[in-house]
Amino acid sequence: MQALNADDTFHFELLRVLGTSRDRGADIGEVLDIAQRIIPGDFESWYEQFNELAGHVRAGVEPQSDGHRVSIRNALFRAATYYRAADFFLHGNPRDPRIRETWKNATACFDHAISLLDVPGQRIPIDGGTFQIPAILYCPSEEVRPRPTLLVFNGFDGSQEEMLHQVGFAALERGFNVLTFDGPGQPTVPSRTDTLECP
């Protein structure tokens, strides 16, 4: 297979983004279009290309309140993925203000998108004792009855939103409820260091 980018790490992360394309998380053509424009080894280039793509996709649908619900929803899912990708290499400087901005944009797009599902996804807090665990519940139908529920979480550098595209939609199609959540150390869970003032 030809590398998507001459940088091995960028190639791997581009494959990760493309992996969400089966279930509405990315468009193969959009990602391939920017892949070769990302300068190998240049984290700023990665951020700029994905942030610009996310903004372009988002701007194309957000004003269309009377547009086609499915098209708007799927475009917002893609924009959310691209914002999360834009964020990925910013964490060399934890104080980079773009981290919060890209996550704010990604979350806004994603939340709008899940509100347009046939059965809207619901953000719910789970009591973790000393902190709240952010979770999202998805159901395959509005019928209230017991059904198997799949608990899905990601790794250190991932997010619960990404898991909807990785395994969530496939489980919903097979009649499962899906509950995704972030754990300690992941993007939306407060850590003990959040309250510390570092010089």
Question: What confidence score (pLDDT) does residue 129 get?
Answer: 85
Is residue 153 within 8 A of residue 180, CB to CB? The reply is yes
**Residue closest to 83 by CA, chosen among 162, 194, 167, 163:** 162
Residue 108 CA to residue 122 CA, distance in Å, equals 14
Kindly list the structural domains of the chain, giving each domain's residue range(s) and its CATH number in brackets, ordered by start: 1-116 (1.20.1440), 120-199 (3.40.50.1820)
Give 168-178 pLDDT, tens digit per residue. 999 999 999 99
Residue 187 has pLDDT above 90, yes or no: no
Question: What confidence score (pLDDT) does residue 128 get?
Answer: 83
Is residue 108 within 8 A of residue 123, CB to CB? The reply is no
pLDDT band at 198 (very low <50, low <70, confident <90, very high): very low
List of residues 6+ apart from 104 with CB closer than 8 A: none
Residue 64 has pLDDT above 70, yes or no: no
Give 69-80 pLDDT, tens digit per residue. 999 999 999 999
pLDDT band at 130 (very low <50, low <70, confident <90, very high): confident
Question: What confidence score (pLDDT) does residue 1 get?
Answer: 67
Here the tokens at position 18 are 């493309």
Give 45-63 pLDDT, tens digit per residue. 999 999 999 999 999 987 6
Helices (H), the chain: 8-18, 28-35, 43-59, 69-87, 97-115, 160-163, 169-173
Q: Which has more confidence, 197 or 67?
A: 67
Here the tokens at position 130 are 């000393």
Question: What confidence score (pLDDT) does residue 108 get?
Answer: 96
Residue 101 has pLDDT above 90, yes or no: yes
Question: What confidence score (pLDDT) does residue 195 get?
Answer: 42
Q: What is the pTM of this model?
A: 0.91
Question: What confidence score (pLDDT) does residue 138 get?
Answer: 98
Residue 103 has pLDDT above 50, yes or no: yes
Q: Is 35 helix (H, G, I), strand (E, B) or coil?
A: helix
